[in-house]
Chain A
Amino acid sequence: MIWIELFLTFLKIGAFTFGGGYAMLPLIQSEVERHGWLTQAEVVDFIAVSESTPGPLAVNMATFVGIRTGGILGAIIATLGIVLPSFIIILIIAKCFEKYKKSKAVGGIMSGLKPAVVGMIGAAFISVARTVFFPAGLSVSVFSSASLWVFLGLFAVTTVLAFKKVHPIKIILLSAVIGVGAGYGLGL
């Protein structure tokens, strides 16, 4: 049943995401794509939407996937699922945070989790890069296509801008304009 599936999937994502923003990308990718709720490209598109609208990526994603698969009720259930684990854990921890913070076990687990999250976002980067540059899959003819070079160039420019701390919304707007220009210009 779609409601239970939505609830449990987002409960899982909420319970296993450590750190904000893109840290949840690997989990979202694997869960949402496995269920066939969104394609890889749709996930990437939605990251852009989420960066350009207020609110946490997690909640935005849950609402979006929920509404697509199960209407408004689906959106409520998915959002509830993603919120519930943090909510319950924080309520418990808020009362004994000092003890929790100084716990050697928590410190040990975190020392393993933090680098793992970096590696997993690196993996997300690789899989998103495949979608962006080789949407039709790897093939020799792809390398000669002009669009590949346009998108590589666009990626290079936006990377420089991102590292210069240009606001994500401006980067997304610029990419959209260039995408439209390249699309009509190259007759894709």
Chain B
Amino acid sequence: MNKNLDLFLTFMKIGAFTFGGGYAMIPLIQREVCDNKKWLNEDDILEVVAIAESTPGPVAINAATFVGSRTAGTLGAVCATLGVVLPSFLIISVISSVLKAFQESKAVQYAFMGIRAGVLALILKAVYTMFMATKKHAVSYVIMAAALVLTAFLKIDAVFVIIGCGLFGLLWSILNRKEQSDDMD
């Protein structure tokens, strides 16, 4: 089979069978791309995770573009990305019209009132998981608290908070490196 078509179909399958998205997709990519198709090896998958973590954008798109580009160049990247996006796109298009039809129903409104409490629990779990994965360091805690206060209470635009914290991290690491090299002298 044509490699580009193969990439498209494989990532369409990955997109159609991952719930929750993001990192939930990694094991599936591993099985399809390493074990079944042998396009990449295990080390490459670790690289996919590293790259997804350190570049902007949704993990799924990062991973699809990276694998596609490694396997079959730019056209491969287009095919893989298109494949991973297509199932969500089609499913949500259908669901949005269904949702609209049921929105007026009292039962659906009640259901969503309950669901919101459940989603709140899922968000709390996400905060906890990401907190545990962050470096245990005083500076990290300060940035965390600052980002929380800036977004939640001072209503600063999320983009500015991200840019600000990124620059702060960069400055801090440069200053630290200087100190370390000063110590060595």
A interface residues with partner B (beta carbon < 8 Å): 12, 14-27, 29-31, 41, 44-45, 47-60, 63-64, 67-68, 72, 75-76, 79, 82-83, 85-87, 89-91, 93-94, 97, 100-101, 104-129, 131-132, 151, 154-155, 158-159, 161-163, 168-169, 171-172, 174-180, 182-184, 188
Contact = CB atoms under 8 A, between A and B. Distances in A.
A151 B116 CA distance: 9
B10 interface: no
A115 B19 contact: no
B56 A119 contact: no
Contacts of B145: 119
Contacts, number: 398
B92 A64 contact: yes
Contact of B58 (A17, A93, A111, A184): A17
Contacts of B120: 44, 125, 128-129, 132, 155, 158
**Chain B at the A interface: SS class:** helix
A122 B77 contact: no
A158 B118 contact: yes
A171 B118 contact: yes
Contacts of B167: 109, 112
B56 A18 contact: yes
Contacts of B88: 53-56, 59-60, 63
Contact of B168 (A31, A68, A112, A163): A112
A55 B157 CA distance: 27
B124 A125 contact: yes
B42 to A, nearest CB: 16
Interface of B: 15-25, 47, 50-62, 65-66, 69-70, 74, 77, 81, 84-85, 87-89, 91-93, 95-96, 99, 106-107, 109-128, 130-131, 133-135, 139-141, 143-152, 157-159, 161-163, 165-174, 177
5 contacts: A60-B92, A101-B50, A108-B171, A116-B166, A132-B117
A86 to B, nearest CB: 3
A58 B149 CA distance: 25
A108 B92 contact: no
Contacts of A109: 166-167, 169-170
A108 B148 CA distance: 20
